[in-house]
Amino acid sequence: MRTLVRRAVICGLATAGVLGPMTASGAAAEAAAPEPRLYAPSALVLTVAQGEDAATAAPLRAVTLTCTPTAGGTHPASQKACEELRSVEGKFHQLGDEENRPCIKIYDPVVVTAQGTWEGRRVNFEHTYANSCIMQVESSGVFSF
């Protein structure tokens, strides 16, 4: 009987010794795990290409734009671009500059794309402008890079 009790105590201590570190590791892993996001992601890849169709035109320039939690990415004016997109709730077709800046009337098509997520919603935007001047005016500078 004493042998059984002694073995149970030894097994219990051995188990505690084995599980103790595992429990501590589990706690450390939980502490190292990232906190859940409190915002929906907004990360986009923007491209500008010469031509009428994104499927056949090779991109001339491409940048990344991250707007949540802060503006960033490789876009040269990420803060302004994020503000413009927020003002239209991420609806690229509603972008537009109210200056009504005059542009030349030469047809030299430029196609732009935006792909990624905006506030957790999938974005796949493509639009062809008559020329780069019209693109800059009508896209509020979002595609000016």
Give the model's pLDDT for residue 116: 94
User: Kindly report the CA angle at 136 between 90 and 89, in degrees rounded to 5?
Assistant: 10
Give the model's pLDDT for residue 141: 82
Give the model's pLDDT for residue 32: 53
Give the model's pLDDT for residue 34: 52
Give the model's pLDDT for residue 120: 87
Angstrom distance (rounded) from CA 62 to CA 14: 59
Report domain extents, the chain: 1-33, 42-138
Q: Which CATH superfamily is domain 42-138 in?
A: Subtilisin inhibitor-like (3.30.350.10)
pLDDT tens per residue, the chain (145 residues)? 454 444 444 444 444 444 444 444 555 545 555 555 566 788 999 999 999 999 999 889 999 999 988 899 999 999 999 999 999 999 998 887 666 778 889 999 999 999 999 988 999 999 999 999 999 888 888 998 8
User: Hey, is 46 helix, strand or coil?
Assistant: strand
What H or E segment, with its residue span, contains residue 127? strand 121-129
Give the model's pLDDT for residue 39: 65
Angstrom distance (rounded) from CA 112 to CA 103: 18
pTM above 0.85, yes or no: no
Angstrom distance (rounded) from CA 84 to CA 133: 18
Angstrom distance (rounded) from CA 100 to CA 98: 5
